[in-house]
Chain A
Amino acid sequence: SQQGEEDPQALSIQEGENATMNCSYKTSINNLQWYRQNSGRGLVHLILIRSNEREKHSGRLRVTLDTSKKSSSLLITASRAADTASYFCATDTGRRALTFGSGTRLQVQP
């Protein structure tokens, strides 16, 4: 079963609006990561947040982590058409490999 589950599965917004995606997970983690995937391409690492951190920023990205609720959110501010992609959360539980969620498909309309 998936450790991380993203919500919503799909999101369509207008350019300039903010996009928020959520991720829930089941077990304790060392860190949580967000990745982006353009259609038919490999995934690209966006940001990592450790279990003892609550918020992290990188450019137009803002990630929050609530370990009590086992959830994280990714906020993309002032979205652009180029942000159109699928976004995945991945959890590091200290085991062999990262576990990925099923992703949120973001469509930013110009």
Chain B
Amino acid sequence: SQTIHQWPATLVQPVGSPLSLECTVEGTSNPNLYWYRQAAGRGLQLLFYSIGIDQISSEVPQNLSASRPQDRQFILSSKKLLLSDSGFYLCAWMRDRGYTFGSGTRLTVV
């Protein structure tokens, strides 16, 4: 079956520490993958999207980066977190013109 996994579910990190969030998809090949961020009580802001291995587009300038080392793996990273990086991070997979979302990661930078 086709599923998407995202982890960890919650993360508390100090300012200046690194970040790595992982998203994997099962049951499909060459998926379009996306990272969104959601501030509290707000809509979703597109951060990165990828149409294939090592094919990543960035939507907003920031201290985050993304990588796609394997076809079904999408990683969101930062070398040094800022307080403003706190939020709810969602990975999504485009399927039949609509998205299937992961369960999200709540990141709190302290």
Question: A residues near B, CB below 8 A?
Answer: 2, 31, 33, 35, 40-45, 48, 88, 90, 92, 96-103, 105
Contact A44 B44 (CB under 8 A): no
Contact B43 A43 (CB under 8 A): no
CA distance A98 to B34 in the complex (A): 10
Question: B residues near A, CB below 8 A?
Answer: 6, 34, 36, 41-44, 46, 49, 57, 59, 88, 90, 92, 97-104, 106
Query: B49, B101, B103: which contacts A97 (Cβ < 8 A)?
Result: B49
- Known contacts A100-B43, A102-B43; A48/B101 CB under 8 A: no
With both chains docked as a complex, state the minimum distance between the C-beta of B64 and any C-beta of chain A, in angstroms.
16
Contact A31 B44 (CB under 8 A): no
Chain B residues near A43: list those with CB within 8 A: 44, 90, 92, 99, 101
Which 10 pairs from chain A and chain B are nearest by CB? A42-B101, A102-B43, A100-B44, A45-B98, A100-B43, A43-B101, A42-B103, A42-B104, A97-B49, A97-B46
- Known contacts A42-B90, A96-B49, A97-B49; A102/B42 CB under 8 A: yes
